[in-house]
Amino acid sequence: MAPIPKIAFSKTHLPDSGTVAVLTDSKLGFSGSSKKLIAGIKGFDRIAKAAKFVGKAGSALEIAAPAGTDIDRLIVFGLGRGEGDPATEWVKTGGQVLGKIGNADKATVLVDIPPGLDDDAAKAATDMALGARLRSYSFDRYKTKKKPDEENGACASNLTFALDDEAGAKKAWKAHLALADGVDIARDLVNEPSNILYPEEFAKRAAKLVGDGVDVEILDERALKKLGMGALLGVGQGSDKESRVVVMRWNGAKSSKAKPVVFIGKGVTFDTGGISIKPAASMEDMKGDMAGAACVVGLMHTLAGRKAKVNAIGLIGLAENMPDGKAQRPGDIVTSMSGQTIEIINTDAEGRLVLGDVLWYAQDRFKPQFMVNLATLTGAILVALGQEYAGLFSNNDELSANLTAAGKAVNELVWRLPLADAYDKKIKADAADIKNISNGRDAGSIIAAQFLQRFVGDVPWAHLDIAGTAWSNESKPTIPKGATAYGVRLLDRLVADHYER
């Protein structure tokens, strides 16, 4: 949608035009072709000194039309570390470098690792390229006058990374590209307004994964009724738009019989709160109440795109929570697919109702190795963790540890919060088996997680409450303001590090 840079890798060379970026350390050291280029620039040391540039991490020195060269612009990018410092976060660096390059037509990054650092150049190049791609996204489908946005969507049209190990970089780039595309798919889905993206349309977009080699099955309301998904259907019954569940399957493991890993997303395409209607302020944000489902679609694209050696199943529960004459009421009792009856105390606690049925269906039909669900489930998780960490709830320590490690590796962080019987007691209902909220507002995110746990049986399971992390109010090096696609990189990494064989 938005212009994305054409990314290429080439052999080390000294470009004779365009913008050139080089890397330096905290001693202003250079190596390889970068060293040659800098040595040819008249008065470089004086320029750096006058600009007080010392190569600090994230800082850059920009020189227009440097004397002694034919290039248009030189950007010297500081990595700010010397010998013995921890490894640079190359993905973040790539986003920062693209931010400095801006919308140049042609830019070349010379991937010469500064002296004293021994990072692998192919890894540095491909990670930087990923960072540049992640940075360059913008959602401008509905802007009739397109301007390169200053804050979002910085974009060089042709971005080349030059290094000796061109072949190594080209090979490694394929998986990164599948990941960047998966992230953009998820961002587009979350940014799309709800008048365009309602359950049926969302299902259609998920069905595009067929082109990647993913099997896609769409369950309509008739099929959901037959399955007994009364909790999910209750959420959608006040909307003109029909509900859907989509099942996506990627069979990449050597054995088609290998137990699948299962990812489940909350896909409430708009959440008015239903009859327990939300206040008007910021209600527009509820177009993003399908970020969990968007993440699962983006993830399935990535896994298929990089031919991950895993059997993975994605399931998304799609419904629109609206208050009309057919809407469910507080006090209504519905029967879930699991057989448990649920008293609806608050129609705004709808995500857990959607997920309860999909979780049950997933473990019943697919007998997974584990299931991870993602959901913009509670405002309370924003109170607890803000936009920095997602809430992690799990019945399994190993899965939790793997998720925590993967989160650290890609900077999509999770923080584990408890589950306990004492909380479960608080959702026992007077008139049904369980109710969808507790009395009072205490521990709102845990109560919601506790509700979900009622539908997972014995399967290792983790719930990520992404109500805080799905959306960013500020631009970051690799995340433009808006939909973050939180979870795509995290779960891709989880699979890559622990579950491929």
Our CA angle for 476, 127, 402, nearest 5°, is 85
DSSP state, 479?
B
Backbone angles phi, psi at 6, to 5 degrees: -80, 115
Which residue bears the tokens 């800082």? 59
Planar angle of CA 349, 450, 334, nearest 5 degrees? 50
Q: Is 106 a catalytic residue?
A: no
Query: Please, what is the minimum distance in Å from the beta carbon of residue 241 to Zn ion?
Result: 15
Q: Tell me if 351 contacts ligand BES by CB under 6 A.
A: yes
Q: Is 396 in the site for ligand BES (CB under 6 A)?
A: no
Question: In this chain, which stretch among 81-89, 375-383, 407-415, 420-428 interacts with ligand BES, using CB under 6 A?
Answer: 375-383
Which residue from 93, 79, 345, 338 is spatially nearest to 230, judged by alpha carbons?
A: 338
Q: How far, in Å, CA of 199 to CA of 153, rounded?
A: 28
DSSP secondary structure letters along 150-188: SSS----SEEEEE-S-HHHHHHHHHHHHHHHHHHHHHHH
User: Using CB distances below 5 to 8 A depending on partner kind, what does residue 148 bind out of Mn ion, ligand BES, Zn ion, none?
Assistant: none
Q: Does 289 bind ligand BES (CB under 6 A)?
A: yes
Q: Which of 348, 412, 465, 492 binds Mn ion (CB under 5 A)?
A: 348
DSSP H helix total and E strand total for the chain: 15, 19
Distance (Å, whole) CA 299 – CA 289: 17
Decide if 141 is catalytic. Answer: no
Q: Does 434 bind ligand BES (CB under 6 A)?
A: no
User: Between 278 and 307, how does the x/- string for binding to Zn ion read (CB under 5 A)?
Assistant: -----------x------------------
Q: What would the x/- binding string for Zn ion be over residues 264 to 283, using CB under 5 A? A: ----x--x------------
Backbone φ and ψ of 286, nearest 5°: -75, 0
Q: Which of 25, 140, 165, 271 contacts Mn ion by CB under 5 A?
A: 271
492 contacts Mn ion (rule: CB under 5 A): no
Q: Which residue stretches of 62-136 are H helix?
A: 90-101, 121-135
- Residue 467 interface partner, choices ligand BES, Mn ion, Zn ion, none, CB cut-off 5-8 Å depending on type: ligand BES
Q: Which of 81, 100, 244, 352 is catalytic?
A: 352
Measure the CA angle with vertex 156, ends 151 and 158; round to 5°: 165
Q: By CB under 6 A, tell whether 343 contacts ligand BES.
A: no
One-letter amino acid for residue 152 of the chain: N
Ranked by CB distance to Mn ion, the top (closest) residue is: 348
| Residue 346 interacting entry, from Zn ion, ligand BES, Mn ion, none, C-beta within 5 to 8 Å by type | ligand BES
Instruction: Kindly report the number of other CB atoms within 10 A of residue 200's CB atom.
Output: 16
Q: Is 444 in the site for ligand BES (CB under 6 A)?
A: yes
Which two tokens mark 301? 């694209």
The verdict on 346 binding ligand BES (CB under 6 A) reads yes
**Residue 354 interacts with ligand BES (CB under 6 A)?**
no
Applying CB under 5 A, the residues found at the interface with Mn ion are 271, 348, 350
Which residues contact Zn ion by CB under 5 A? Answer: 268, 271, 289, 351
List the catalytic residues.
278, 352
Q: What is the contact surface with ligand BES in residues (CB under 6 A)? A: 271, 289, 346, 348-351, 376-380, 437, 444, 467
